[in-house]
Structure 1
Amino acid sequence: MTTTQPAGTTVPGPSAPGVRSAPPRSWTRNRWARFAVRRGGRLLISLWVLVTAAFLMIHLVPGDPIRGALGPKATPELIEQTRANLGLDAPLWQQYLDFIAGIFTGDLGVSIQYRLPVSDIIADRLPATLALGIAGFIVAVLVAIPLGALVAVATRRGRRRFLEAGFASTSIVLATIPDFLLGVALVWIFGVTLQWLPVAGMDGVDSFVLPVLALAVGPAMILARIVRVELLAVLDADHVRTARAKRLPPARVVWRHALPNAVTASLTLGGLLLGAMVASTVLVENVFAWPGIGSTVTGSILGKDYQLVQGIVLVYGVGVLLANTAVDVALAVLDPRSTVLDDAEGGR
């Protein structure tokens, strides 16, 4: 017995051999979603390790940190009272949970040295450190990229050997000088001898010049060398040859077609340099009496103010992790191929 179908209706039938129906799309098939999940997961794990290490800092200090902070003349009653006020008399697991809860609520404890909340001290001094660090990073990038690009173009294919040798030797010397020694030299030259610039404090734009230079010169030289090497490789790439074949102006070929690829390849190193510059602010701030966290952490370590040290370690650690995450995101946006490579690595 046969049945007839009404006109205009479609009878479902078996799929053609070798043809697969498209599976429903989900976030797991979106490489950007997978990229965000992986980077977010790594950031959360790194933050957890940082928080745990900062918490264990007090408990791994040899001896009694409370007695060390209060001094040898402190009475046992004062020591026990201080330990109770800081919550260090509770079980270790309870202290850990309270420490994590305090991070989310902004309660990082009370400074033994200053008798003030740690969060208030950090909030008061953090803007100065951020201003110095951001200014130093911007100056380093603005110096490194044009310098590396100009030297690469000038010394391409073995030209101007003297310029290449001079750039290499100068950049190596400046990159290996510790930033605090460079700061002392800048103070002696421009502050003491020539008396052109202030050497201490944060008062006006001119007070930024010397500490920013001390912070940025070394990283700028390192980054400039990397930009030069990457640009030399990109200048011989196929797409750059195609741009030259179209008789585009040489400056446009370099700045529009070659340099963006070289800078993208240098972003990873830029993230590492940014983390190093964040740590370098500690020494630079002490040289120039900068009213930031760097000068505070030195005094807190000498005064054995471990609550304050904990809070500052968290701030510096979170700053480095966020900077590296921002660089990863920028690299993925500027060069989407990086997410593909991550996908390939994740699927192995």
Structure 2
Amino acid sequence: MTQPTQGGPKAASTAVVRTQEARARRRRGGPWGAFALRRLGGILLSFVVLVLVTFLIVPLIPGDPALVIAGEGATEADIERIRERLGLNESLIVQFFSYAADLLRFDLGSSFSTGGPVTAIIAARFPFTAQLALIAIVGILAIAVPAGLAVAVATRGGRNRWLDVGFNAVTGFFYSVPQYVMGTLLVAAFAIGLGWLPSGGAASRSAIMLPLAALMIQPICSVGRVVRREASVVLEQDFIRTARGWRLPQRRTNLRYVLPNVITTTLTLSGLILAAQLGGAIVIENVFNWPGLGQGIVAAILTRDYPTIRGIILVLGLLATLIIVVVDLVLAVIDPRNLGADHDS
């Protein structure tokens, strides 16, 4: 005699729905396929928003590019000819479609100031910004993660209260100092006062030291505090107590059990920090006369160089988006649950 399906028609219907969802996921390439589609959609949406924002916000900058290019003593006819040559006498809609059409051809336009292609300006400056930002994030992780983990271990269970208070006080103070203020103080101390390092430029290898320090100090404090807090929570979990009860070496316990449980939060925060580093580099590069995209965009703003401003902002925005996507990918590799709702548990 055939046994009835356990749970009745409702259970059978649920099983059918789950089977259909599983087949749909397989057609989409499984959880990784759905993950890739979501991230690709996010990149495309970010690109559209960046294009709209970069186009609309630039004309709000006070001043007329044609007047800046013409210089003092130019006649109204001269200014009008320059405006016509630059396409500034067209309506915003016409200018936007021309801008979008150029982007589809991977053309960021020509600089108002130099007449050269914006892509060449970005290509010349980008390596300096990339070097600064990438070295900074590696240094941040290399210092903040061990420091936060070490303080959490040393203060576990209320021990070494002085260290806990001192760590929070020092990191809280340096985190509150704006990066441009920190950069100015570093120049005053190490370039002017002690004369150990150059105050700016990129003429020597040591010239990058002060910009890096100014860029890294605030994020180190932020990431270190997060790692210390997350590690303190993990250290009080039952499985850590069990590991201690088995008398496993403390270093092995920390590296094998504590660190992996704080790495997800750390990587997520680090991705956001690296994306923010691209923006912070704009300020730091101008404080230290570092010839990267940050210095380039400020120079473009002063001369009302619309194509260069748009090109640099667009590139920085896309880089920030790609950084977040790469961090999400790393987190998904570490823990497949980060693939999202499409993951078949």
Identify the TM-score tier after normalising by the shorter chain.
0.7 to 0.9
Query: Do the aligned residues in 1 keep the contact of 2:58 with 2:309 (CA within 8 Å)?
Result: no
How far apart are the structure 2 equivalents of 1:227 and 1:153?
A: 11
Q: TM-score, normalised by structure 2?
A: 0.87
- Say if 2:211 is the partner of 1:211: yes
Please state how far the C-alpha of 1:72 moved relative to its aligned partner: 6.2
Please state how far the C-alpha of 1:188 moved relative to its aligned partner: 1.6
Please state how far the C-alpha of 1:252 moved relative to its aligned partner: 0.7
* Cross-structure match for 1:324: 324
Q: Secondary structure at the match of 2:199?
A: coil
How far apart are the structure 2 equivalents of 1:129 and 1:29?
A: 37
* Cross-structure match for 2:9: none
What's the % identity of the aligned pairs? 39
Q: Secondary structure at the match of 1:114?
A: coil
* Cross-structure match for 1:248: 248
Please state how far the C-alpha of 1:105 moved relative to its aligned partner: 3.1
Q: Secondary structure at the match of 1:247?
A: coil
- Say if 2:226 is the partner of 1:226: yes
1:109-188 equivalent positions in 2, closer than 5 A: 109-188=109-188
Please state how far the C-alpha of 1:209 moved relative to its aligned partner: 1.2
- Say if 2:25 is the partner of 1:34: no
Please state how far the C-alpha of 1:73 moved relative to its aligned partner: 4.0
Tell which deviates more after alignment, 202-211 or 127-136: 202-211
Q: Secondary structure at the match of 1:36?
A: helix
* Cross-structure match for 2:192: 192
Please state how far the C-alpha of 1:274 moved relative to its aligned partner: 1.3
1:91-102 equivalent positions in 2, closer than 5 A: 91-102=91-102
* Structure with higher helix content: 2
| Deviation by residue 1:175-234 (Cα, 9 ceiling, x = unmatched) | 111111111111121112222122211133322211101100100110000001111111
* Cross-structure match for 1:281: 281
Greater length-normalized contact order (CA 8 Å, ≥ 6 residues apart): 2
* Cross-structure match for 1:80: 80
How far apart are the structure 1 equivalents of 2:212 and 2:61?
A: 34
* Cross-structure match for 1:11: none
Query: Do the aligned residues in 2 keep the contact of 1:215 with 1:280 (CA within 8 Å)?
Result: yes
Please state how far the C-alpha of 1:69 moved relative to its aligned partner: 5.4
Q: Secondary structure at the match of 2:167?
A: helix
Q: Which amino acid aligns with 1:222?
A: S
Closer/same/farther in 2, CA of residues 90 and 303 from structure 1, 3 Å limit: closer
Q: Secondary structure at the match of 1:103?
A: helix
Q: Secondary structure at the match of 2:195?
A: coil
Q: Which amino acid aligns with 1:86?
A: L
Please state how far the C-alpha of 1:59 moved relative to its aligned partner: 4.1
Q: Which amino acid aligns with 2:120?
A: D
Closer/same/farther in 2, CA of residues 128 and 256 from structure 1, 3 Å limit: same
Closer/same/farther in 2, CA of residues 17 and 90 from structure 1, 3 Å limit: farther
Please state how far the C-alpha of 1:29 moved relative to its aligned partner: 7.0
1:284-323 equivalent positions in 2, closer than 5 A: 284-323=284-323
Please state how far the C-alpha of 1:123 moved relative to its aligned partner: 1.0
* Cross-structure match for 1:4: none
How far apart are the structure 2 equivalents of 1:43 and 1:16?
A: 52
Please state how far the C-alpha of 1:46 moved relative to its aligned partner: 1.1
How far apart are the structure 1 equivalents of 2:229 and 2:27?
A: 38
Closer/same/farther in 2, CA of residues 65 and 157 from structure 1, 3 Å limit: same
Q: TM-score, normalised by structure 1?
A: 0.86
Query: Do the aligned residues in 1 keep the contact of 2:137 with 2:270 (CA within 8 Å)?
Result: no
How far apart are the structure 2 equivalents of 1:170 and 1:47?
A: 40
Please state how far the C-alpha of 1:100 moved relative to its aligned partner: 2.3
Larger-Rg structure:
1
Please state how far the C-alpha of 1:107 moved relative to its aligned partner: 2.2
Please state how far the C-alpha of 1:79 moved relative to its aligned partner: 3.2
| Deviation by residue 1:31-72 (Cα, 9 ceiling, x = unmatched) | 222122112211210111001111123444467553455456
Total equivalences in the alignment: 329
